[in-house]
């Protein structure tokens, strides 16, 4: 095709096609003769296609919005992949197994190596079944601490799950209830010293946990609470100021006239709390319950310091223990990953079920804990 342009150098030669090519050539030449103006023209036309009015070209709001929407979606999707991919990687990597040679005995690629080089799916899943690593994780976790036995069987995994459930359910249930009580008093009752009590409690969040944990540990161990798990249960039962703060914010939004009506009908304060405040503030109380539950489930430092008896250690400590002993072990490393998936799943399921309540509650008050 390019030959035609060379042969069509004299005028009127080459027919329509030659004319056309000459036109293009002239346009090309003109373009370079007044380059800056044409550049502006090109940029202006290009930008106006996306809705921007530059160099005298018309702007188009609709197109502009579409342009920004597309860019926004691309960025958001990229960010979303960054957020989600590690979880998928974790799940896929936890299924990895060693690559075997043809004889089925010699290992050509260790399970650890297969696991850490997984991209979307491991090169080789375990030869003992897809969920072998999970079985192995339970076995390893069961023997994480030799002292935790029942009838001669090591059951540290199940024990740690029970402990975690106890540590997260009992203090959180009682604590959210007592916090709701305090929130009711802060929001709807007028008593002397209310503001003082409120700011006295609120100032306590300035004191970081690491600086009081040693004194707490000394007292708890003197009372024997470090040997029976009470150190993780009792303090939480007294409620938390941030929980109370959040429920208080919610209660401010509720009309006081309901309580006044109840008061006129002769309902006592306790009655007002149990049959009016608790049902009405249910969304806030639920959200705080779930957030505190997640916090307790994921807690690592407090049990690490407070619990000295292996019998009462929660799941996070068991996984930490497993990580320190097996994380570089060529055969058992995928089991560590499987164990951490096991610890993660309940929280993720809980979050998936209650995400609306949780996100709504955080957006309402700005309380993250």
Partner 1 sequence: MENNTVSYAQDAAAVQALDLTEPIRQKKRINRAKLQENIWGWIFVSFLLIGTTVFTYIAFILSVWISFTDYDAFIMTTFWEGLGSIHPDGAFHWYQYMFSPEGPLGIAGESEDFWNTLGSTVFYLIGIPIGMVLSLGISVLLSRDIRGTGTFRVIYYIPTVASTVSITVMWTNLFGDGGLMDSLFGLSLLANDSTYWQNRACVIILTVWKGLGGTVVLFVAGLNGVNASYHEAAEIDGANAWSIFWRITMPQLYPTIFYVLVTSVIGGMQIFVEPNLIFGNYPATGNQATSGTRYNIPFVGFIFGVFNNGEWAHASALGIILAIIIFVLTLIQFGLDSRRDKV
Which range binds partner 1 by CB under 8 A, 22-30, 53-61, 144-152, 341-349?
Answer: 341-349
Query: What's the rounded Cα separation, in Å, for the pair 337 and 280?
Result: 42
Q: Which is nearer to partner 1, 89 or 158 (CB)?
A: 89
Binding mask 157-196 for partner 1 (x = CB under 8 A): ---------------------xx-xx-xxx--xxxxxx--
233 interacts with partner 1 by CB under 8 A: no
Which range binds partner 1 by CB under 8 A, 32-40, 97-105, 154-162, 338-346?
Answer: 338-346
- Beta bridge partner(s), residue 96: 125
Q: How far is the CB of 213 from partner 1 (least distance, A)?
A: 7
Q: How far is the CB of 111 from partner 1 (least distance, A)?
A: 12
Which range binds partner 1 by CB under 8 A, 2-10, 21-29, 38-46, 294-302?
Answer: 294-302
Q: Which of 219, 252, 260, 353 binds partner 1 (CB under 8 A)?
A: 219
Residues 54-73 that bind partner 1 (CB under 8 A): 68-69, 72-73
Q: Which of 8, 140, 176, 358 binds partner 1 (CB under 8 A)?
A: 358
Binding mask 121-140 for partner 1 (x = CB under 8 A): --------------------
Q: Which is nearer to partner 1, 170 or 237 (CB)?
A: 237
Q: Which of 95, 137, 241, 284 binds partner 1 (CB under 8 A)?
A: 241
Q: How far is the CB of 130 from partner 1 (least distance, A)?
A: 19
Query: What's the rounded Cα separation, in Å, for the pair 194 and 202?
Result: 12
Q: Which of 297, 303, 312, 357 binds partner 1 (CB under 8 A)?
A: 297
Q: Which is nearer to partner 1, 18 or 188 (CB)?
A: 188
- Number of shown-chain residues binding partner 1 (CB under 8 A): 95
Q: Which of 111, 333, 335, 357 binds partner 1 (CB under 8 A)?
A: 333
Q: Which of 27, 212, 261, 353 binds partner 1 (CB under 8 A)?
A: 212
305 interacts with partner 1 by CB under 8 A: yes
Q: What is the 3-state secondary structure (H, E, C) of the chain?
A: CHHHHHHCCCCCCCHHHHHHHHHHHHHHHHHHHCHHHHHHHHHHHHHHHCCCCCCCCCCCHHHHHHHHHHHHHHHHHHHHHHHHHHHHHHHHHCCECCEECCCCCCEEECHHHHHHCCCCCCCCECCCCCCHHHHHHHHHHHCCCCCCEECCEECHHHHHHHHHHHHHHHHHHHHHHHHHHHHHHHHHCCCCCHHHHHHHHHHHHHCCHHHHHHHHHHHHHHHCHHHHCHHHHCHHHHCCHHHHHHHHHHHHCCCCHHHHHHHHCCCCHHHHHHHHHHHHCHHHHHHHHHHHHHHHHHCCHHHHHHCCCHHHCCHHHHHHHHHHHHCCCCCCHHHHHHHHHHHHHHHHHHHHHHHHHHHHHHHHHCCCC
Q: Which of 59, 108, 275, 327 binds partner 1 (CB under 8 A)?
A: 327
Between CA 207 and CA 148, with CA 315 as vertex, the angle to 5 degrees is 120
351 interacts with partner 1 by CB under 8 A: yes
Q: How far is the CB of 146 from partner 1 (least distance, A)?
A: 20
The SS3 of residue 21 is helix
117 interacts with partner 1 by CB under 8 A: yes
């Amino acid at each position: 095709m390019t030959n035609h342009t060379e042969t069509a150098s004299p005028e009127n030669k080459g027919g329509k096609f030659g004319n056309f090519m000459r036109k293009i050539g002239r346009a090309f030449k003109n373009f370079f003769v007044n380059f800056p103006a044409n550049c502006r023209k090109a940029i202006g036309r290009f930008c106006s296609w996306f809705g921007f009015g530059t160099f005298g070209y018309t702007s188009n709001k609709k197109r502009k919005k579409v342009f920004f929407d597309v860019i926004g979606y691309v960025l958001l999707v990229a960010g979303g992949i960054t957020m989600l991919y590690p979880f998928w990687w974790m799940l896929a990597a936890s299924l990895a197994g060693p690559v075997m040679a043809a004889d089925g005995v010699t290992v050509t690629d260790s399970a650890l190596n297969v696991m850490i080089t997984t991209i979307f799916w491991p090169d080789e899943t375990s030869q003992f079944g897809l969920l072998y690593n999970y079985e192995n994780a339970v076995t390893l976790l069961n023997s994480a601490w030799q002292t935790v036995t029942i009838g001669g069987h090591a059951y540290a995994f199940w024990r740690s799950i029970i402990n975690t459930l106890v540590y997260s359910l009992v203090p959180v249930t009682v604590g959210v209830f007592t916090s709701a009580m305090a929130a009711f008093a802060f929001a709807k009752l007028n008593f002397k010293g209310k503001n003082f009590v409120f700011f006295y409690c609120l100032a306590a969040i300035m004191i970081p946990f690491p600086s009081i944990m040693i004194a707490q540990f000394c007292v708890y161990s003197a009372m024997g609470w470090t040997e029976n798990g009470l150190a993780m249960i009792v303090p939480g039962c007294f409620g938390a100021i941030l929980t109370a703060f959040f429920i208080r914010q919610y209660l401010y939004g509720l009309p006081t006239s309901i309580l006044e009506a109840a008061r006129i009908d002769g309902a006592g304060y306790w009655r007002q709390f149990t049959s009016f405040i608790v049902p009405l503030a249910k969304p806030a109380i639920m959200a705080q319950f779930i957030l505190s539950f997640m916090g307790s489930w994921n807690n690592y430092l407090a049990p690490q310091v407070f619990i000295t008896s292996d019998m009462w250690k929660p799941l996070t400590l068991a996984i930490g223990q497993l990580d320190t002993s097996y994380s570089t072990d060529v055969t058992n490393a995928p089991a560590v990953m499987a164990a951490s998936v096991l610890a993660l799943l309940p929280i993720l399921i809980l979050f998936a079920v209650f995400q609306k309540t949780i996100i709504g509650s955080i957006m309402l008050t700005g309380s993250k804990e």
